């Protein structure tokens, strides 16, 4: 007799007891009458199994009562080996689920389990699937069509009674029936043959449920937002249009959500502005565009395309800080005297960027002390002269950024310099070569001022007991023990377990391996030993950066948490008492970020 059939009876019997009044005693006849299927042998086997597991108590022959607190509800977190863990909200420890006890659950499903022991459970009921649609590949065995579903942590073969599919077709399907040993799938659509780049990318979009297009009503709504940019609004803002301002971004960037300005007051006093696209001015709270941005929560960068958080009209046109255009920004302006901040100002501004530079162009200026960009690295493939004030500003901010970076690392900020690979695609979006992405001083100077702005906004949140934070907990002890064991086998002597300052030990390790053949391996191992950074209203600091307060303020075009941060900051500046339901939004945004990372890795 099928174990799955017995499990089905187990689940149904538990539900009968749960729907009955508290601690109600039920006899065999009552249980049987409430079951749809009435196989006496299987009912008896199920009751015996539930008694043996301690889920039911047999109070007298033929009568049973549910043991209170024996069932537990949570989310399945599968391992690559088929077993898993039950993650229960507000529970410090997870429950182990052996492979044979996962029933028909998939990774991320919400399930009900029975406790087998103090720390082990068995799945008895699927409460909610994490996903409704799945992606697999068709194969044939014994003249029967099957779908191979092979995601990151789930490997399942589905039966499919459909004559219109063929071997190697990529299929989007739903789970139709999982009562039998081999579950049955219902076809939704065919994406094309396996191996075709475009088909494979669409499979990723479907697998991770990424909405890669915007509905017409959202696009029309975005086009109407230009009316929110007008002279009346401009009068409310600090006018910084005549301040030397510029953007530095990747050469292929389509939107520019941050700019830097420099205003030299005297020889030792400089005002540096960090100007961030004022997305929250246009993205009104609870509007249809806001709800769509919240749902997406982040832009996703696949190898051949971007799945944007916002429609192009907003991201590339309305909010993008394009050169020589009046643009609205949310700004953080810092007054430096002898490389120390003596004053901070936050507020809404209107700016006009003098220059759009790529990282390579900015680096050429830094390296050669020139305002002449040669054609071979110029964005327009022509020799060009940049604004003299912009040239001088780049020297100033590079000097200050180096000082900020030096201070940050001295306080324990972990310094990763892992080489990233970028694929170069041909016109058919097929990879033809790879290039190593360099991290130049120009990259680092922009990063340093973004970190500064994020940190200073977080300081305001703590002061006013508002807002949300980007938090990063200390590494798990067991992961640090594993990391130390591996590096010692490779000949490195850092004492990570007993370190008074683990940040310094990790930085020493990364510095020692800088020129070694195993540099990328060590970088990867250290990254994997870290906790995951996430969003929360409860500040615990940021371990990796060694900041006691940190948030995300600087990328609202591509990250919804930054939009929330802008709204919270505006409320502080305007003394508003209005509150957002931030904790649930933090959980949602952290979850969507995880999905985005997995999709990007899959591409």
Question: Does position 261 have pLDDT exceeding 90, yes or no?
Answer: yes
pLDDT digits (tens, 9 = 90+) for 337-366: 988 999 999 999 999 999 999 999 999 999
Indicate which CATH number applies to the domain containing 95: 2.40.50.140
Our count of domains for the chain comes to 5
* Last residue of one domain, picked from the residues 207, 242, 271: 207
CA distance 480 to 495: 10
Contact 170, 189 (CB under 8 A): no
pLDDT band at 522 (very low <50, low <70, confident <90, very high): confident
The partner residues of 64 in beta bridges, in order of sequence, read: 26, 58
> In the prediction, which pLDDT does 429 show?
67
250 within a domain of the structure (yes/no) = yes
Residues whose CB falls within 8 Å of the CB of residue 296, separated by 6 or more in sequence, listed in order: 211, 307, 308, 309, 560, 592
> In the prediction, which pLDDT does 415 show?
80
Question: Does position 166 have pLDDT exceeding 80, yes or no?
Answer: yes
Residues 354 and 222 in one domain: yes
Contact 154, 107 (CB under 8 A): yes
CA distance 400 to 410: 15
CA distance 590 to 588: 6
Question: Does position 39 have pLDDT exceeding 90, yes or no?
Answer: no
Helix, strand, coil fractions of the chain, as percent rounded to 5:
35, 30, 35
> In the prediction, which pLDDT does 308 show?
95
Which range has the top average pLDDT, 54-63, 182-191, 408-417, 478-487? 182-191
595 within a domain of the structure (yes/no) = no
> In the prediction, which pLDDT does 367 show?
94
Residues 47 and 181 in one domain: no
- Would you give the DSSP letter of residue 520? H
Closest to 595 measured CA to CA, from 270, 265, 208, 318? 208
603 within a domain of the structure (yes/no) = no
Q: Residue 405 is inside which H or E element, if any?
A: helix 388-410
* Last residue of one domain, picked from the residues 128, 153, 175: 128
CA 267 from centre of chain: 43
384 within a domain of the structure (yes/no) = yes
Question: Does position 150 have pLDDT exceeding 70, yes or no?
Answer: yes
Residues whose CB falls within 8 Å of the CB of residue 5, separated by 6 or more in sequence, listed in order: 42, 179
Given the structure tokens 């600087």, which residue do they identify?
554
pLDDT band at 145 (very low <50, low <70, confident <90, very high): very high
340 within a domain of the structure (yes/no) = yes
Question: Does position 88 have pLDDT exceeding 50, yes or no?
Answer: yes
Q: Residue 535 is inside which H or E element, if any?
A: strand 534-536
CA 321 from centre of chain: 25
Complete DSSP assignment for 4-65: HHHHHHHHHHHHHHHHSSTT--EEHHHHHHH-SS--HHHHHHHHHHHHHTTSEEEEETTEEE
Indicate which CATH number applies to the domain containing 47: 1.10.10.10
Q: What is the mean pLDDT of the chain?
A: 90
Question: Does position 21 have pLDDT exceeding 70, yes or no?
Answer: no
Q: Residue 594 is inside which H or E element, if any?
A: helix 582-602
| Angle made by CA atoms 83, 89, 93, in degrees to the nearest 5 | 55
Residues recorded for the chain: 603
Give mean pLDDT, residues 363-375. 95
Closest to 80 measured CA to CA, from 170, 8, 164, 151? 151
Question: Does position 598 have pLDDT exceeding 60, yes or no?
Answer: yes
Contact 300, 306 (CB under 8 A): yes
Q: Within 10 Å of residue 100's Cβ, how many Cβ atoms?
A: 10
List strand residue ranges (DSSP E) for 51-208, in order: 56-60, 63-66, 71-78, 84-87, 95-97, 110-115, 121-128, 134-141, 144-150, 155-159, 169-177, 184-193
463 within a domain of the structure (yes/no) = no
Q: Within 10 Å of residue 367's Cβ, how many Cβ atoms?
A: 11
Contact 264, 336 (CB under 8 A): no
Residues 316 and 412 in one domain: yes
Question: Does position 270 have pLDDT exceeding 90, yes or no?
Answer: yes
Residues 178 and 323 in one domain: no
Instruction: Provide, rounded to the nearest whole percent, the portion of the chain with pLDDT above 90.
Output: 60
> In the prediction, which pLDDT does 1 show?
44
> In the prediction, which pLDDT does 565 show?
98
Question: Does position 139 have pLDDT exceeding 50, yes or no?
Answer: yes
Structure tokens at 399: 């000097």
583 within a domain of the structure (yes/no) = no
Residues 288 and 180 in one domain: no
pLDDT digits (tens, 9 = 90+) for 193-234: 998 888 999 999 999 989 889 999 999 999 999 999 999 999
Note the helical H segments in 236-321: 279-282, 288-296, 312
Sign of CA dihedral 233, 235, 238, 243: positive
Q: Residue 511 is inside which H or E element, if any?
A: helix 502-512
Give mean pLDDT, residues 18-28. 76
Structure tokens at 195: 């191996």
Residues 112 and 139 in one domain: no
Q: Which three-class secondary structure string do you get for 561-589?
A: HHHHHHHHHHHHHCCCCCCCCHHHHHHHH
State pTM to two decimals.
0.83
Structure tokens at 147: 């779908």
**HSE value, Cβ hemisphere, 13 Å, CA-based, for 85:** 12
Contact 95, 87 (CB under 8 A): no
43 within a domain of the structure (yes/no) = yes
Max intra-chain CA distance, the chain: 94
Structure tokens at 220: 């029309």
pLDDT digits (tens, 9 = 90+) for 300-336: 999 888 999 999 999 999 999 999 999 999 999 999 9
Question: Does position 505 have pLDDT exceeding 80, yes or no?
Answer: yes
pLDDT band at 520 (very low <50, low <70, confident <90, very high): confident
Long-range contacts (CB closer than 8 Å, 24 or more residues apart) made by 126-130 = 127/73, 129/175, 130/106
Least-confidence region, from 22-31, 147-156, 267-276, 580-589: 22-31
Residues 408 and 518 in one domain: no
Residues whose CB falls within 8 Å of the CB of residue 220, separated by 6 or more in sequence, listed in order: none
> In the prediction, which pLDDT does 457 show?
98
> In the prediction, which pLDDT does 61 show?
84
**HSE value, Cβ hemisphere, 13 Å, CA-based, for 5:** 13
Residues 279 and 312 in one domain: yes
β pairing state of 244-249 and 84-87: unpaired
Closest to 203 measured CA to CA, from 169, 177, 163? 169
Q: Residue 592 is inside which H or E element, if any?
A: helix 582-602
> In the prediction, which pLDDT does 125 show?
85
- Would you give the DSSP letter of residue 547? B
CA distance 326 to 320: 10
Residues 387 and 238 in one domain: yes
* Last residue of one domain, picked from the residues 178, 207, 236: 207
pLDDT digits (tens, 9 = 90+) for 415-474: 876 666 666 667 766 666 666 677 788 999 999 999 999 999 999 999 999 999 999 998
| Angle made by CA atoms 257, 258, 260, in degrees to the nearest 5 | 160
Residues 24 and 57 in one domain: yes
Contact 585, 552 (CB under 8 A): no
Structure tokens at 180: 């039998």
- Helix, strand, or coil (residue 507): helix
pLDDT band at 3 (very low <50, low <70, confident <90, very high): low
Residues 122 and 256 in one domain: no
Q: What are phi and psi of 431, to 5 degrees?
A: -70, 130
Structure tokens at 88: 């229960």
> In the prediction, which pLDDT does 22 show?
58
Question: Does position 2 have pLDDT exceeding 60, yes or no?
Answer: no
Selected residue with higher pLDDT from 48 and 20:
48
Residues 246 and 376 in one domain: yes
Least-confidence region, from 86-95, 123-132, 431-440: 431-440
Residue 439 to residues 363, 406, 421, 446, Cα–Cα distance (Å): 10, 16, 12, 11
Which domain does 484 fall in, by range?
Answer: 477-529
> In the prediction, which pLDDT does 55 show?
82
Question: Does position 10 have pLDDT exceeding 90, yes or no?
Answer: no
């Amino acid at each position: 007799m099928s174990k799955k059939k017995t499990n089905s009876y187990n689940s149904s019997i538990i539900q009968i007891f749960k729907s009955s009044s508290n601690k109600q005693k039920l006899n065999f006849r009552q249980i049987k009458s409430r079951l749809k299927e009435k196989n006496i042998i299987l009912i008896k086997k199920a009751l015996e199994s539930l008694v043996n597991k301690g889920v039911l108590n047999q109070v007298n022959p033929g009568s049973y009562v549910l043991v209170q607190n024996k069932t537990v509800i949570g989310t399945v977190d599968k391992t690559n080996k088929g077993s898993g863990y039950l993650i229960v909200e507000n529970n410090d420890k997870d429950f182990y689920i052996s492979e044979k006890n996962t029933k028909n659950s998939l990774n991320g499903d919400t399930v009900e389990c029975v406790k087998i022991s103090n720390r082990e459970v068995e799945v008895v009921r699927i409460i909610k699937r994490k996903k409704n649609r799945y992606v697999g590949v068709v194969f044939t065995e014994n003249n029967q069509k099957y779908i191979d579903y092979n995601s990151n942590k789930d490997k399942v073969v589905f039966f499919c009674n459909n004559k219109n599919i063929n071997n190697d077709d990529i299929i989007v399907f739903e789970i139709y029936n999982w009562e039998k040993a081999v579950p049955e799938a219902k076809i939704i659509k065919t994406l094309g043959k396996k191996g075709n780049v475009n088909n494979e990318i669409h499979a990723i979009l479907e697998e991770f449920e990424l909405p890669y297009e915007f509905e017409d009503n959202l696009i029309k709504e975005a086009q109407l937002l230009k009316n929110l940019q007008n002279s009346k609004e401009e009068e409310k803002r600090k006018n910084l249009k005549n301040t030397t301002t510029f953007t530095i971004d990747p050469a292929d960037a389509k939107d520019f959500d941050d700019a830097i300005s420099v205003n030299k007051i005297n020889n030792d006093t400089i005002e540096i502005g960090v100007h961030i696209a004022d997305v929250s001015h246009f993205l009104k709270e609870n509007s249809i565009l806001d709800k769509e941005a919240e749902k997406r929560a982040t832009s996703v960068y696949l190898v051949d395309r971007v799945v944007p958080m916002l429609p192009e009209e907003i991201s590339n046109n309305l909010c993008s800080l394009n050169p020589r255009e009046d643009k609205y920004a949310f700004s953080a302006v810092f007054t430096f005297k002898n490389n120390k901040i003596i004053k901070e100002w936050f507020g809404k501004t209107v700016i006009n960027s003098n220059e759009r530079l790529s990282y390579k162009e900015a680096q050429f200026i830094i390296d050669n002390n020139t305002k002449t960009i040669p054609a071979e690295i110029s964005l327009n493939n022509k020799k060009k002269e940049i604004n003299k004030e912009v040239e001088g500003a780049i020297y100033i901010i590079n000097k200050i950024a180096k000082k900020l970076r030096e201070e940050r690392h001295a306080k324990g900020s972990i310094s990763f310099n892992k080489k990233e690979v970028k694929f170069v695609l041909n016109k058919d979006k097929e990879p033809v070569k790879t290039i190593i992405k360099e991290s130049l001083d120009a990259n680092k100077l922009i990063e340093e001022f973004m970190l500064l702005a994020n940190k200073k906004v977080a300081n305001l949140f703590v002061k006013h007991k508002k807002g949300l934070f980007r938090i990063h907990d200390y590494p798990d002890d067991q992961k640090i023990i594993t990391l130390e064991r591996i590096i010692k086998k490779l000949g490195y002597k850092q004492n990570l377990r007993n370190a008074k300052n683990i940040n310094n030990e990790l930085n020493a390790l990364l510095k020692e391996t800088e020129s070694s053949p195993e540099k990328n391996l060590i970088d990867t191992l250290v990254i994997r030993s870290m906790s995951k950074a996430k969003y929360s209203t409860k500040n615990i600091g940021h371990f990796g950066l060694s900041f006691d307060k940190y948030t995300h303020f600087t990328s609202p075009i591509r990250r919804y948490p930054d939009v929330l941060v802008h709204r919270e900051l505006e409320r502080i500046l305007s003394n508003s008492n209005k509150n957002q339901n931030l904790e649930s939004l933090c959980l949602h945004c952290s979850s969507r970020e995880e999905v985005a990372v997995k999709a990007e890795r899959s591409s």
